[in-house]
A and B are shown apart, each in its own frame.
Chain A
Amino acid sequence: MATVEIAGVGIHPFGRFDTTVTDMGVDAVRAALAEAAVPRGGFQAAFCGTVYSGVAAGHKVLGALGLTGVPIVDVEAGCASGGAALMLAAGAIRAGQYDTVLVFGIEKMPKGIIRSSFFEPWREEAGLAATPAYFALRAQRLMSESGVTKEHLALVVVKNRRQGVQNPDAMFREEVTADEVLASRVVCEPLHLFMLCSPNEGAAAVVLRAGSAEGRGRVTLEAAVLRSHLPGSVLGEATPLSGLASDAAPPPTTLAARAAFEEAGLGPADLDMVECQDTDAARELLSYEELGLCPPGGSAAWIADGHTEHGGQLPVNVSGGLLSKGEPLGASALGQVVELTAQLRGRAGPRQVPGARVGLGHTVGRGANASVVILKGSS
């Protein structure tokens, strides 16, 4: 099977802009194609991750560049849309169908709680379409089962916001203190406003190529996995109205992580850094546990002792995470790949994790959909 190489990456900053979603996509795609030195006609397929951009959104981006003619497939998998697009592209290259594939993600979202056609109108009318309330229930269970406190949740925000200061593509670039986090208004107890990421706008693009793992500065895609939820849990991103009185079913993040580690032939101990879903502060801690990075119940100690700080044993979200960058759904997973690629090439500037060789990116959201990607740099 072919090795899949990251040939180039590009990003349009995440934030709030007057630019159209198409133009943000154009910026990211042009940057990635230029970095990969892909000439016109140099890629054989394109996959575009997006949720709210409407019909043929990927075609509009490539249409603006006169790069249509190849298959263009829009991929919707909630917060994991970019991860899903990456999985499809990598699979096609490994199967020998294509040599070079363009993957991009675009989004321009309204402010506030995300309205989703996922919910039936009656469910909205009854007040049961409140996604942050599901996050709050899950945060409450994590607190009761893993010894996590509100102070631990605040530490996640403090860490990610501090790390986001160094990221010019992030939306929020000011530090916050734990006191400020805990003084921000309660959205859904125990979650305060500063503990929730902001839906926003942005784009990211990645060129994948059948290549070799050899050569200085090369970064390879070792795994790109997407999984959905198993029936059972009432707390997950699937946001059902009922489930079983049992916690036996592994969550989609765990399913995706196990498959990705197997695909890569690597394990959590091989990771030098992680970019994970931090839709809310509790989601980051839960991700440590669901990804198998720390033992069950170990996330509180990890955030308290600085294990996941930049400079800690396993830095998490050195990009600032979604809490600093905001979350443009279709672009967020590929934004993680842009960050990991820069890190594994040793070109992340003040954010650089020294000696980073292996990195993992994780998104999970509506569907439920969870994606896990593992990237490896050559030394």
Chain B
Amino acid sequence: MPGDLMPGDPMPGGPAQGRVPVHDRLFTADGHLLGGRCGTCGQHHFPVLRTCPYCSGAEVAEVALSDRGTLWGWTAITAAPPGYRGEIPFGFGAVELPEGIRLITRLTEPDPAASSFGQPMRLEIVPLHTDDEGRTVVTYAFAPEAG
């Protein structure tokens, strides 16, 4: 999609660029996903919480999650779910990251027949809809790795 950003690009934060993330605690400044890493058990989670959702540890470090992973499960959503204002259909799935976690995410591929288990995937930041102030609201999605 034209105008979509790749991780490493400056984050599309701020009204100045006319793009706003759908939630303010999803991305790092350079457009990676903002996750948590527990100082006690070492497990990662997303979105970042104040406490570890595995061991209750209170020392959670904010970390940039890997922008590459593999496809673990997928489907497509064909009717707008409650509260959703974007386009349909869209892909929905689970991507496994090298950190040892699975993320529930939008997928850029809306055709279930086009995907396969273990397929290499890459993070993209994609537009959802235009808000009442004319800004493009963006969120995270995973796309098939090119090549």
Contact = CB atoms under 8 A, between A and B. Distances in A.
Contacts of A245: 72, 96-97, 100-102
B92 interface: yes
Interface in B86-110: 86, 90, 92-94, 96-97, 100-106
Interface in A114-135: 114-116, 119-131, 133-134
A130 B73 contact: no
Interface of A: 113-116, 119-131, 133-134, 136-137, 140-141, 144, 185-191, 231-232, 234-235, 239-246
Given A125-B83, A137-B94, A242 B22 contact: no
A137 B83 contact: no
A241 B81 contact: no
Contacts of A191: 75
B61 to A, nearest CB: 16
A241 B84 contact: no
Contact of A189 (B43, B45, B53, B76): B76
Nearest to A135: B75
A140 B72 CA distance: 10
Contacts of A239: 104
A240 B102 CA distance: 10
B94 A124 contact: no
A133 B79 CA distance: 11
A137 B117 CA distance: 12
B79 to A, nearest CB: 7
Contacts of A189: 75-76, 112
Contacts of A113: 79, 81-82
Nearest to A128: B104
Nearest to A127: B84
A139 B96 CA distance: 18
B46 A241 contact: yes
A244 B101 contact: yes
A121 B24 CA distance: 12
Given A140-B75, A234-B94, A126 B139 contact: yes
B124 to A, nearest CB: 14
B128 interface: yes
A68 B43 CA distance: 50
Nearest to B75: A136
B119 interface: no
Contact of B83 (A129, A136, A186): A129
B90 A127 contact: yes
Contact of A241 (B77, B104, B112, B129): B104
A115 to B, nearest CB: 4
A126 B90 CA distance: 11
A189 B58 CA distance: 39
Contact of B137 (A125, A232, A234): A125
Given A113-B81, A129-B83, A141 B46 contact: no
Contact of B73 (A124, A128, A140, A240): A140
Contact of B22 (A125, A137, A231, A244): A125
Nearest to A131: B81
Contact of B128 (A126, A141, A190, A244): A126
A245 B103 CA distance: 9
A312 to B, nearest CB: 31
A188 B104 contact: no
Nearest to B104: A241
B139 A242 contact: no
A241 B47 CA distance: 7
A129 B75 contact: no
Contact of A188 (B43, B46, B75, B105): B75
A234 B104 contact: yes
Nearest to B69: A245
Contact of B84 (A114, A125, A187, A190): A125
Nearest to B113: A189
Given A125-B22, A189-B112, A115 B82 contact: yes
